[in-house]
Chains A and B, each alone.
Chain A
Amino acid sequence: MTEPAVELDGIWKRFPGVVANAGANLTVRPGTVHAVLGENGAGKTTLMNCLAGVYLPDEGTVKLHGREMRFSSPADALAAGVGMVHQEFRLVPTFTVAENVVLGSAPRVISRPEINRSVAELAERFGFSAEPERPVWQLSMGERQRVEILKALWRDAQVLILDEPTAVLTPQEAEDLGRVLRQMVGEGRSVLFISHKLNEVTAFCDEATVLRGGATVASSVAIADVDSAALAELMVGSSTKSTETDAQRNTEMGDVVLAVDNVSVTDSRGLTAVDGVSFEVRAGEILGIAGVAGNGQRQLTDAIAGLETCRTGSVALMGDDLTSATPRDRFRAGLAYVPEDRLGVGLAPKLPIAENAVMRHYPKMRRGPILLWDRAKEFSAELVSRFEVKVGRVEDRLASLSGGNLQRLLLGRELSSEPSVVVASQPTRGLDVHGVAAIQRLLVEQRDQGTGVLMVSEDLDELLVLADRILVMSEGRVAGKFDPAVASRAEIGAAMAGVS
């Protein structure tokens, strides 16, 4: 047996209040695509960062081809042949593809045509087309990802780490990526593929290592020998139940709680993002809005919540016109909003958990100009325990929470004032199996209590299970209304694609 390309042994990494890796192990054979699986917060990214020189592990050893390594920077790791493509790309938008690829490792005297040619050759060798002279800002996300990969290959990385690479890709681009990865491992390189999407793992990868709670629970499982269900079970630690059994369709609909009438919104570029959308949400129903991302969903929910101005039309809550009300007044009137961007819109990442927990409620916790912090902390502690947010202390930084916990905190905060309408935009996106189930359960509970729920999701399956009615948005308009009990996926898919 050949020497493993990568060998991580007993890696521990602690952050204030959190143990991210608790003795994780990982062995990668050369010439394979190796999946690193785990729920959000399982420690996948931290482990990979330890391998890529971003973090220095507290304990444990990192070996490359049998030699022990100690990387103090990503540059060190790269010099040793480990390249990482992060979820957020690190490219200079105004530079060309070739300039980005060679940035930091260019020869002293730069001959532009020569560099363009060698970058093009490199791309061709791995089976993707690249236009070396195009500036990066013109590229799609998928194209940018390829530039990141090329950057690593240019430095002759033998081990390439891809952190959730398909999150930003179209299905077609994801397929192309799979082909490129094959080509790379064909030359004896190794690829580490971080994901929690099982279908991709089974399609692209040779072996998988599964992490749970920072430790390795299954090491180098051959993908050919297991099925998705078994992998999922390893990830979550118990048999997963479909959410379908939880959702009981509501038959009794109440009064109209949210009325959206002929709303149009202009986006920041001056284009029409929402074009005359009308619908009603009734008490005790989940109205699902389906559609491909970028068809005006975000602007629509922002307009309902008061973050965008309606160019035309009106928004009414419980019969009261709120079209020109402030976001705060809308919340006070009973409109809860879970925005698509949790960090940065729904939550303030630099502030402590408690300060985030009371962001909607502090007007009720003041005496004159003074905020009553004791009451705020009490409220936060209750919120955290009622919605099962796993935190150290409520004074800790928000950044210490995992994605699922962030969403629980956010949703919990929005629900704790007993709203009459909940608008939730992509509430389960990016969450792990447990997280998705928890959030869905909370929304279903709300519906069952008689709240009107407007749920925007790109996951049609989710809507088919949860929603009482489905609207499809396409190019800013309502492209179809469906009853999930009878509608076929094909019909809805056609509406999403804009086929009328």
Chain B
Amino acid sequence: MQRLIFQVTPGIALLLWSDFIVAAGAIEGASGRQAVNPIAIGMFLLFVAFTLYVTWWAAKSTKTSSTFYNAGGQITGAQNGLAIAGDFMSAASFLGITGLMYVGGFDGLILSLGAFGAWPVFMFLFAKRVRNLGNFTFIDVISQRLDRDPIRLVTAFSTILIVIMYLIAQMVGAGTLIQFLFGLPYEWALLLVSVLVLAYVAFGGMLATTWVQIIKAGLLLTGVTLIAALLLADSGFSFSNLLGKAAVNHPSGEGILRAGSIFDDPVQILTIQVSMLFGTVGLPHILMRLFTVPDMRQAKLSAYYASLFIGYFYIALLVLGFGSIAYVAGNPEFLNEQGKLIGGSNMAAIHVATAMGGDILTGFMSAVCFATILAVVAGLTLSGAAAISHDVYAEVLKKGKPDPKTELRLTRISVLLIGFAAVSLGIAFQHENIAFIATIPMVVSASVTFPILFLSLFWKDFTTRGAMYGAGVGLISSIVLIVLGPQVWVSLLGNAEALFPYDYPALFTMPASVSIMVWVSLRDRSDRGAVDRDNYLRLLVRSEFGPSEKEMAQS
């Protein structure tokens, strides 16, 4: 029985959300679905009503493309920090990490540290410099130094790829999760998510999206705090007692308190760490949030507050993860006829809420999960729309001089198109094994976005040609190694053994991409290369001190 309870999806369950998606089949059917919880529905409707009110309020001040993309730069550092934290404290993090800890105890923490470790790097390297050099997207930053048209096209392409892949993973996961938690048919769940997200983004832009994210992050932090406090209270406020109970309940016994239950290869751990850290730092919808604050000081504070909130969240998940083993594992209330956890391991977080707080806490956490999906999808949609309307249309096609009304209209049309694509692809991929799709955004972000942004800001010899070749190598090697890896080559294509042994290849693709960028840049003798090098010092000073008075006057 215990073996069944702790069965792990093949491959690295790291895939957070994707793990949940793969397990979707197991959730279907009355026996595997959560009973409809009126408290969850009531709380969710309350959240929707309030966030729609916020959208109506935000829509009144969202009249230009500037306010649309960056909320008019009026968000404070603390608010923005909570919004950034909200972007990363997704349903995937909450459910996936608790689920992975339920399966393997300590080994699940690699994802927590991987996700958290990105924020200090974000603050040390990027927060101030990106804020000082850009306007709406991180592409503004690199295109000030490199040849704007080709670099904008390449980075906008990688942004749209990241956003679409991320959206597919979110939408398929969302449909499955909502179907499980609320009993809604899959297609209706996707439609509901999409309609609400379109309302938030199309009318309220970044201001509404940020406030939806802030509200949701506040609710999620409240929820995990409450569950962690109840778990500790029930264990005599001793974390050691909680760990002892968990060890007794798990087939690996005390092995769950140290490394080795799921992973045994240090190289695999390194690939996960590299992908999580550098992938997160390069995510376009996270970088975009740096422009919603008024100045560079608030940008740095945003990153700092985000770290505090995310650090707190993952320490609370440490309690929830072991608490789920202590209170959910082996409890017949949470097992189906086959002896498996109802809804799969990713539902461990919801079940531990039930074990600690009954229907009320379950309802609250279910509503928070739904809210989380809405907020993350809204941020992604906005980021994709900005890449199309700002980076491609306004800056490339209109050479930086677009008609503001046309640009804003195009942004809203882009939001609609992305929403339509998200629902269509979510339905198309409903029954597919799409674990690999969830892998692509992190690996591409680590192998394309991060190296270009880092070298633009920190290396004087970096040139457009180097960036283009390196981005090509990063993109192609990422896709090829993911296809040859266990998720596609074995799980999807049915081959016996993977040609490349790791799910996340960023440990190899990122150095390959950086090496090509450096090698080609050093050999670049073109006129454009000379301009790129000359631009470095001017931008370096501006990135630390902000635009000069003369530059301010010109802009």
Chain B associates with chain A: no
Chain B interface residues (CB < 8 Å from chain A) = none
